[in-house]
Structure 1
Amino acid sequence: MVVANGKTQPEMDPVNTTIVTLTRFLTEEQVKHTEATGDFTLLCHALQFSFKSIAYYIRRATLVNLTGLAGSSNTTGDDQKKLDVISNDLFIEAMRSSGKCSLLVSEEEENVIFFKDSQHARYAVACDPIDGSSNLDAGVSVGTIFAVHKLAEGSTGTLGDILKPGTELVAAGFTMYGASTQLVLTMSGGSVNGFTLDIGLGEFILTHPDMRLPRQRAIYSVNEGNSLYWEDNVNAYFNSLKEAQEDGKPYSARYIGSMVADAYRTLLYGGVFAYPADKKNPKGKLRILYECAPMAMVFENAGGQAVDSKMRRMMEVVPENIHDKSGIFMGSYDEIEKIKSFHK
């Protein structure tokens, strides 16, 4: 407490002048690599601009009539929302104008988009512009998932530069648009870092450095409405979670229905998120390139695991086409080990 003019007043909290913005973070990471050209940093600046733009339109969606369906379906058969279309267009233009992206795969586009004007671009990007868009009109958290590959030496941009397993990823992550806008970013062989968008500054601020998953946690996240179609071992696993565990309590169920939101909660608190393949969708429902692989990279770099429905390491699964699908289990290390035990 301080005394001013004879009155006692509360002390002011000191102002933080050592804020680490995403821009500063990327610049400092670039300095660590003497071979860096700055191209990847510039690509990331274009990515963060698209995230800020999408966040802006989502915040204003109800006010400016951007809710509801656009009247068409995307290449995977999902009904497109107006914001799906806008976000996809924003993402395409951000990648095109960056000059560092040679080709782009989007959930909303049937074919690969090649940026022929970017002759010296060295990167290929895959994205789901708005994951969980069916929840948009209800104000539930949705997000963007992205994955970055580097072109093969001498390549000018081909399909082969993007049809790679997650082990070849240069960077990956997701942005969640909810009560606040959260960006989770990881790079090959690096840690996982979380940023929060400060609307006043217009900057992503590092708020969750070096994110690590708890090794185990009694929380599971899955759409149990599909249990009728699950294989017996999948049903056996989830039924086991409803029984008393060593502490006498069953697991807690937490399911939002937006992969990004469920993944972010699992990343923070631990547990397991699952969207297994089933009799209705034998290959699974989630897309490998721009949902499963980037999420797997995030979870592995945070100390967790991610496997497909055949218990293969998700990062090693090679997509057969740009919209190829897979089942997935991802979460705390020990929780995934428990899942594996039911599939032996």
Structure 2
Amino acid sequence: MPYHRITMTHFLLQEQRRKGASGSFTALMTDIIFACKMIAHEVNRGALAGNHGLAGSENVQGEDQKKLDVLANDIFMHMNALGGNYAGMASEELEDVHAVHGAADGKYLLLFDPLDGSSNIDVNISVGSIFSILRLPEGVNTIEEAAFLRKGVEQVAAGYALYGSSTMMVITTGNGVNGFTLDNNVGMFMLTHPDMKIPEDTKEFAINASRSRFWEPPVKRYVDECQAGKEGPRGKDFNMRWVASMVAEVHRILVRGGVFMYPADSENMKKGGKLRLMYEANPMAFIVEQAGGLATTGRGRIMDMAPTHLHQRVPVILGSRNEVERLDSYHAEFDGK
């Protein structure tokens, strides 16, 4: 029955009691919930509110910003500064870290991609927000980049909001993965997808096929084998998907399995890869691993990487365990290991 569902706030309170923790984590998650609800509202208004199109500016990555990129970033920054729970924040859209004024007691750091997949905005395809939470290191009083440069294994929590046919939030605090759907009638996220698990096997893969001319041999081998279907070495047919929104890709994998790839290739390798370690790869790797999947660069676990700078890029291969292991083995074979 819908009236027997658990709200996200109650779920967090239950987790807090179970761990014997203070209420600060529930409070800081509440700030994120409000931000995501506000962004969902603006995304849903779309062209009616004049939210489509370019903002006429570039972000720190050198990418053209959409109007909703800028608006979503402003919402995330404002709403998560109000509670005083965060000592500092870092956004994919901004070059430097942001110290939260008046948050002398803030014990956490927030990293976020305010609107992932924003190239889909004008064509009304799913977009989302991604976030990662770290503890402020002991003895740190000045909020600088170095405080954020921590391995993914040190994340306290991670999650994403998906703005699609319904608005969902999926989170992990290191104890499995749970999904919540926004009930617009009451304005609350309700637990609808408890204990999400990624199947170990799959018949789906997601990759940007327009970049096939740049792929390394291990990736090309894998995709060729999948496309060969029942008559090929895999002995089964595969479907290929590509949404150009990491949130949408990962959500599909959480719901029904699959593997997502934005690998190193001959064109992006000089940058380290395509996706950002701190804002995209680490939080998604945490979620995927907590759901029973794997997340690697093809040559090592993503969450074991020691970051060197805030906007570092990495190759990403994540999803169903057996497929990711296969891709890792192809890379190892190619590298002569």
Normalising to structure 2: TM-score of the pair?
0.94
1:297 aligns with 2:261: no
Helix, strand or coil at the partner of 1:334? helix
Contact preservation (8 Å) 1:73, 1:79: yes
Contact preservation (8 Å) 2:218, 2:327: no
- Per the alignment, do residues 312 and 247 of structure 1 end up closer, same or farther by CA in structure 2, a change over 3 Å counting? closer
CA distance in 2, matches of 1:160, 1:18: 45
CA distance in 1, matches of 2:43, 2:139: 40
Shift of 1:233: 1.7
Summarize deviations over 1:262-315 as a string: whole Å, max 9, x none.
110011111100001111110111000010000000000000000014x21011
Higher mean displacement: 244-253 or 263-272: 244-253
Shift of 1:240: 1.2
Contact preservation (8 Å) 1:149, 1:161: no
Helix, strand or coil at the partner of 1:63? helix
Shift of 1:196: 0.4
Helix, strand or coil at the partner of 2:65? strand
Which of the numbers 11, 30, 40 marks the counterpart of 2:25? 40
Q: Which runs of 5+ in 1 are unaligned?
A: 1-14
Tell me the matched-pair count. Answer: 327
Which of the numbers 254, 268, 274 marks the counterpart of 2:261? 274
Q: Which runs of 5+ in 2 are unaligned?
A: 333-337
User: How does 1:100-249 map onto structure 2 within 5 Å?
Assistant: 100-156=85-141, 157-188=143-174, 190-245=175-230, 248-249=235-236
CA distance in 2, matches of 1:291, 1:237: 24
Which of the numbers 23, 27, 47 marks the counterpart of 1:62? 47
Contact preservation (8 Å) 1:213, 1:267: yes
Higher mean displacement: 16-25 or 244-253: 244-253
User: How does 1:90-105 map onto structure 2 within 5 Å?
Assistant: 90-105=75-90
Which of the numbers 302, 314, 330 marks the counterpart of 2:302? 314
Higher percent of residues as helix: 2
CA distance in 2, matches of 1:305, 1:204: 27
Larger Rg over CA atoms: 1
Contact preservation (8 Å) 1:185, 1:192: yes
Q: Cα RMSD between the aligned structures? A: 1.2
1:262 aligns with 2:249: yes
Higher mean displacement: 330-339 or 147-156: 147-156
Shift of 1:64: 1.2
Helix, strand or coil at the partner of 1:147? strand
CA distance in 1, matches of 2:152, 2:89: 16
Shift of 1:40: 1.0
CA distance in 2, matches of 1:60, 1:116: 32
CA distance in 2, matches of 1:290, 1:129: 9
Contact preservation (8 Å) 1:150, 1:161: no
